[in-house]
Amino acid sequence: MSKMSLSTRMILVLTLITVLSGGILAGWDTITKPKIAFHRQEALKAAIGDVLPAHDTYTREETEFGTIYIAIATRDSSEHLVGIAFMAVGSGFQGELRIMVGLSPDMTQLTGIKVLEQIETPGLGTKIVVDPSNKQDPYWFPAQFRGVHLSPEIVVIKNAKPTRNNEVQGITGATISSKAVTNILNDQIAHIKTVWPSKGGPES
Amino acid sequence: MSSTLSLKTEFIKGIWKENPVMASLLGLCPTLAVTNAANNGLAMGLATTFVLLSSSLMISALRNFIPHQVRIAGYIVIIATFVTVADRFLAAYFPVISASLGPYIPLIVVNCLILGRQEAFSSRNGIGRSLLDSLGMGIGFIIVLVVLGIIREILGSGSIFGIAILGDWFTPWMVMILPPGAFLTLGILIALANWYNDPSRSKERGTVS
C-alpha cells in the first residue's frame, strides 16, 4: 500500500467503495423491486376500484395524455363498459395533486374521484381527502364528485349547498384547494375527451 | 479523551449527555419535519439508526484504508448506499410508512448527525466502540423523535400511534401537527433539559452530575 502514490490510492479506494456500493444496491434492488411494483399495482387497483366501483376488470391504453384505464363489468352475462379512469395531475395550493378520476362511458358525469397525493395545509386543504372534523361524513368533499355533471364544467360554490348538477360545495377556509381540484378535473377531462371518444350505450 | 471512557459511558452518552438532538442540535430537519405522529417519528428514528450503525461499521473497519483527502466522498457514498437500502426496504415492506415519510427517508443522506458521528468518532475508533457510540446516538435520536411525535400527536390529533385516546370533546390543536408545533415542542423540551442540566441547580441539590 505504501508503495502506491497517494493519487493512485485515492482513485483505487473510491473506485472500490463505489463498486461495492453498486453491487449491494443492485442486489437489493432485485429483491425489493417486485414487492414495490406489487404495492404500486395494488394501490392503483384500489384507486380505480374507488372511482369506478361497478367495474370488475380493466384494460389500459396509452394516450398522449397518459394512461387511460378502461373499466369493464363482467358480473352480468353481457360484458359492458362501465367507465374510464385516468390520473389527473396538477397544481394544488402548495404542491402537486394527483387525483384518480372516474368518468362515465358517455363522458358526461364523474363516477368518483380519489386524491392520491397532496401536500395541502393539514386541517384545511387536506379536507379534499378526508375531513376528520365532520364526524358524520368525513369524506363529504370527494363524495360530492360522484355523479356530478361535466357540462359546461364543474363549478365550486362557496358557503352554500349546490343547486345544479354541475356544482360542488367548496371547503370553508380552503377555497384554493377546492378550486384546484375542480380546475385540474375540468382541464384534464377536456384533454381526455380529445383522445377518448364518448361511448353512449352499454353496447359499444 | 474518548479512549479513556468506559464502553458503558460510550453507549450512554448519546442518550442523554451528548444526545444528538437535545445537546448537539444535530439532525433537526427530520426531527422537525416528520414528528407530527409518533409512528412517523419511530420509523424515521429506526431508519436513521440503521444507517448510522451500518455506516459506522463500514467506516470504522475501513478507517485506515480510506485516504484522508477523499474521506468525505467515501463516507457519503457509504452512507448513501445504506440510506437507499433503508428507503427501498420501507417501500417494499412498509408502503404506508414509506408514503407518509415521503422524501425524508432519502434525505437521511444529508443528516449531519450521521456524517458528524462518522467524522468525529467512527473514523478514529475501532469497530466495537464505533458501534456502541452509534447505537447510543441512534437510541437517543429515536427517543427524542418518539417523544416529540407523541406530544404532537396527542395535542394535534388526539391519538397515540394512530389510536384515538381523547374523545369527541377534544378539539385538536391544528398548530401542533404543522411546522410551528414542531418548533414549539422541541424548544420547550430543550429548555427543560437545559434547566435540568444547569450546573448551578445541581449545586443546590448537592450533587455533581
pLDDT at B4: 57
Alpha-carbon gap: B148 to the closest alpha carbon of chain A (Å): 18
Contact A73, A84 (CB under 8 A): no
Is pLDDT above 70 for B3? Answer: no
Q: How far is CA B42 from CA B4, B45, B48, B101, in A?
A: 33, 5, 10, 11
B139 in any annotated domain:
yes
Contact B35, B152 (CB under 8 A): yes
Which residues from A are below 8 Å from B177, CB to CB?
Answer: 122-123
Task: Please give the DSSP secondary-structure letter assigned to residue A121.
Answer: P
Contact A48, A116 (CB under 8 A): no
B203 in any annotated domain:
no
CA dihedral A123, A129, A134, A136 (to 10 degrees): -160
Instruction: Output A160 or B87, whichever has higher pLDDT.
Output: B87
Cell of B92: 417494499
Residue from A74, A104, A80, A119 nearest A192 by CA? A104
Is pLDDT above 90 for A185? Answer: yes
B190 in any annotated domain:
no
Residue from A31, A157, A11 nearest B85 by CA? A31
Model confidence over A30-51: pLDDT tens digits? 999 999 999 988 888 898 888 8
Is pLDDT above 60 for A203? Answer: no
For A133, nearest residue in chain B (alpha carbons): B171
Cell of A194: 380529445
pLDDT at B177: 84
Is pLDDT above 70 for B204? Answer: no
Is pLDDT above 80 for A122? Answer: no
B109 in any annotated domain:
yes
For A117, nearest residue in chain B (alpha carbons): B99
Q: Give the span between the Cα atoms of B97 and B105, in whole angstroms.
A: 10
B183 in any annotated domain:
no
User: Where does the pLDDT of residue B203 fall: very low under 50, low under 70, confident under 90, or very high at 90 and above?
Assistant: low
Q: Give the span between the Cα atoms of B100 and B98, in whole angstroms.
A: 6
User: Where does the pLDDT of residue A204 fall: very low under 50, low under 70, confident under 90, or very high at 90 and above?
Assistant: very low
What's the N-to-C CA distance of chain A in angstroms? 76
For the segment B191-196, the average pLDDT, to the nearest whole number, is 90
Is pLDDT above 50 for A202? Answer: no
B84 in any annotated domain:
yes
pLDDT at A183: 94
User: Where does the pLDDT of residue A201 fall: very low under 50, low under 70, confident under 90, or very high at 90 and above?
Assistant: very low
pLDDT at A82: 85
B111 in any annotated domain:
yes
| Residue of B74, B81, B92 with shortest CB distance to A25 | B81
Instruction: Name the percent of chain A lying above pLDDT 90.
Output: 36
For the segment B99-121, the average pLDDT, to the nearest whole number, is 89
B173 in any annotated domain:
no
Instruction: Give the range of the structural domain holding residue B20, as residue numbers without chain letter.
Output: 8-150
Side-chain-side CA neighbours of residue A33 (13 Å): 6
Residue A110: other Cβ atoms inside 10 A? 23
Which residues from B are below 8 Å from A29, CB to CB?
Answer: 88
Interface residue A63 vs chain B (CB under 8 A): no
Q: Do A35 and B92 touch (CB under 8 A)?
A: yes
Q: Give the span between the Cα atoms of B79 and A174, in whole angstroms.
A: 41
Contact B27, B21 (CB under 8 A): yes
pLDDT at A195: 83
Q: Do B74 and A13 touch (CB under 8 A)?
A: yes
pLDDT at A134: 78
Q: How far is CA A110 from CA A64, A102, A199, B180, in A?
A: 21, 6, 14, 38
How many domains does one find in chain B?
1
Is pLDDT above 80 for B168? Answer: no
Q: What is the pTM of this model?
A: 0.79
Most confident of A87-96, A158-167, B82-91: B82-91
pLDDT at A158: 87
